[in-house]
Structure 1
């Protein structure tokens, strides 16, 4: 009996060992098959990925070859077009035609804006050079073409084009307004008065006040406020032009339906002129009377002791003759000649920077800054005596014509100093009457 018990124990132990070994072998085989299947799936994944990449490369090569055969001009990559064609092969006429300024003025502008436009390279991409950022923005201001066209031309994203335009406009206003749009000195006032007298025959005048309407897209809110007297949507700006055709002051960002007289009375120009800011410390003598220098303005502005406007002719129509006296008509004629200074300056501005002559599709938060930046750029080009081509002016003369003076309602003299303002205007009437005699 004792022997049988030992055999039974040994048999039980052997059975347990055999079963455990069989189970371990089964588990090992299962793990081995799982590993093999995992490696097969991984290899299939990488093979399919390589096959897709190869097919994409082949398809891209086919499209490139078709594009090169059909459009020979596209053989030049975008980056190569900027780095080689523009920077090395552009002639002076090309710089004027594309950027509206000479190459020397372009690099002068880049040096001025470098403190705000320079960017540092990152680990992901290289920053655009200042010259390329300025070129992208100038192309937009000069041509008013869509962002996608400039994007494909310069090889940058559409969002980058938008950012370049915004950054450069804000940088110009922040860095260059104090240098190229500042209060004139006494010597500059004297020169401006001499230019007005020699060019228009209007004496004792240093600047002209005018309005500029920039066409915009329909705003999402209060669209009726932006309808100007000519019945198209715009942003209204008030500009002051010197005898040299440069802008001394710009007040932008008003809806096109705003009364210009309200803009004038709430602008810094009103306070500056009331304090004699556009006249030397010692008023010059005019017609035997000490009189500070004057500004001339359109009929939409009120007559002031420092601002001359034309005599209103309320009865004039096709069927009725003018109600003005001969001396008043003579004054209005010389006033029209003096206002040509501002008309020509605004026409050159819109011709050089066509974003102001065509409908501007930028946001309303950008348009006022863009208008001010374009006025400063105009002063820079005029200061550097860059060539202005007459064909630019011909392109914009009939495009979005500015509202004419008769579109505005006539403004009476403001009741502050009506007698002094009328006396000043009559003094100029006496001068022109003597000149006629």
Structure 2
């Protein structure tokens, strides 16, 4: 009986295994057939794509052969505008007008960014040269025109324009910050102090701190946080400018409604300056006393022994407050004159790179990097001696909205007590100078 039971079980098991084996073979055949069909479709797609590209190249060659070459570059077809016109016919003034830098600086920039921007050709597409990628991005930064306009001009897709702008801004910040946006050495501190004294009449000062507002489109979240004191939406940046009008430190990406004091205290500049990083190890002598170099700031910043601001003009108008003395008013006038350094530097920055003066329609994830990249490019152009055209500045002054003022944010609660003695030393200096 036991053997019969085993035989009966075996009779049921063998047909089941045969059926399962047949089902597995059928499934495997179906998968193999589907894979073959997928490969056939994939190959047909690329053959058709390659054929279309060949037809487009042939059509472009025919059009370029029958095209009559004219001198005005504005009438050149976009397919060869870059290769034939910009690279061969652009005059020095054209490079300045369109790319905001000289031809020499442009190719220097391309060489520096090549490790990040160079791309390899593929079987179906030629990679854009680094020079063209940089030119596309610079055109956007300099003019702030729509991607569609740049796309038509350079003969590339709108998505390519967007990628070029993003890639170049990130590459500039990654590769050039250590060269053009870094803390100063002792010699640079001394040079900046001499420039503040000789050009603006303010001694023992190496930099001035100010704010920059960049207009943006309405963000999807927390839009009210980006409303600045002037009433429009912006991203606010804090900048430190040396005596040459170049940026030593930039802290970007804060909503336009942020208190400048909060930005300062959360920046690397605060930590560096508070620890004496913006002064030689042995403090220089000022008014007979060893004193670290100071920075100048707007009234919205707290008074520190390294950050000097003007006496509040409203003191004399409030109840129980004494009016400013003649000595204090003289100090305020001298400091206001010296604060023209960051004002003029920011005006030149916005005039050269108009993506910072007009409303920037890029995403909030790109705008801070774009601001940093523009500051680095500003320093690079200034250090290379590239000309700056006065009409750029006139255009910005007449067209853009005025930068918001933070004078109503008079910060006194966080003023450092010993810093008042430092400010008094400067008052004594200007009084002696005028006696």
Q: TM above 0.5, one fold?
A: yes
Partner of 2:150: 150
Aligned residue for 1:397, secondary structure, equals helix
Equivalents in 1 of 2:313, 2:322: separation in Å?
A: 7
* Aligned pairs (5 A) from 1:143-292: 143-292=143-292
Q: How far off its partner does 1:73 sit?
A: 7.4
1:364 aligns with 2:364: yes
Equivalents in 1 of 2:103, 2:73: separation in Å?
A: 24
Partner of 2:352: 352
Partner of 1:43: none
Which whole-Å deviations, capped at 9, do the CAs of 1:325-350 have from their partners, x for residues lacking one?
A: 11111111011011100000000000
Partner of 1:430: 428
Task: Check conservation: 1:287, 1:431, Cα contact below 8 A.
Answer: yes
> Which structure 2 residue ranges, 5 or more long, are not aligned?
1-51
Equivalents in 2 of 1:362, 1:247: separation in Å?
A: 23
Equivalents in 1 of 2:151, 2:322: separation in Å?
A: 56
Which of 1 and 2 has greater Rg?
A: 1
Equivalents in 1 of 2:91, 2:181: separation in Å?
A: 30
Q: How far off its partner does 1:213 sit?
A: 0.2
Equivalents in 1 of 2:74, 2:339: separation in Å?
A: 48
Aligned residue for 1:229, secondary structure, equals coil
Q: How far off its partner does 1:316 sit?
A: 6.2
Equivalents in 2 of 1:364, 1:307: separation in Å?
A: 31
> Which structure 1 residue ranges, 5 or more long, are not aligned?
1-52
Task: Check conservation: 1:143, 1:355, Cα contact below 8 A.
Answer: yes
Task: Check conservation: 2:261, 2:302, Cα contact below 8 A.
Answer: yes
Partner of 1:84: 84
Q: How far off its partner does 1:84 sit?
A: 0.8
Aligned residue for 2:356, secondary structure, equals coil
Task: Check conservation: 1:202, 1:334, Cα contact below 8 A.
Answer: yes
Q: How far off its partner does 1:79 sit?
A: 2.7
Equivalents in 2 of 1:187, 1:249: separation in Å?
A: 17
Out of 410, 415, 419, the position equivalent to 1:421 is: 419
Task: Check conservation: 2:308, 2:423, Cα contact below 8 A.
Answer: yes
Equivalents in 2 of 1:292, 1:167: separation in Å?
A: 40
Task: Check conservation: 1:316, 1:322, Cα contact below 8 A.
Answer: yes
Q: How far off its partner does 1:86 sit?
A: 0.2
* Aligned pairs (5 A) from 1:131-146: 131-146=131-146
Which whole-Å deviations, capped at 9, do the CAs of 1:215-253 have from their partners, x for residues lacking one?
A: 001111111100001111100000000001110000000
Equivalents in 1 of 2:185, 2:351: separation in Å?
A: 29
Aligned residue for 1:115, secondary structure, equals helix
Q: 1:286 to 1:111 in 2, by over 3 A?
A: same
Q: How far off its partner does 1:400 sit?
A: 1.6
Q: How far off its partner does 1:74 sit?
A: 7.7
Aligned residue for 1:298, secondary structure, equals coil
* Aligned pairs (5 A) from 1:319-334: 323-334=323-334
1:102 aligns with 2:102: yes
Task: Check conservation: 1:247, 1:379, Cα contact below 8 A.
Answer: yes
**Taking structure 2 as the reference length, what is the TM-score of the superposition?**
0.81
Aligned residue for 1:314, secondary structure, equals helix
Q: Which moved more, 1:418-427 or 1:160-169?
A: 418-427
Aligned residue for 2:240, secondary structure, equals strand
Equivalents in 1 of 2:413, 2:289: separation in Å?
A: 22
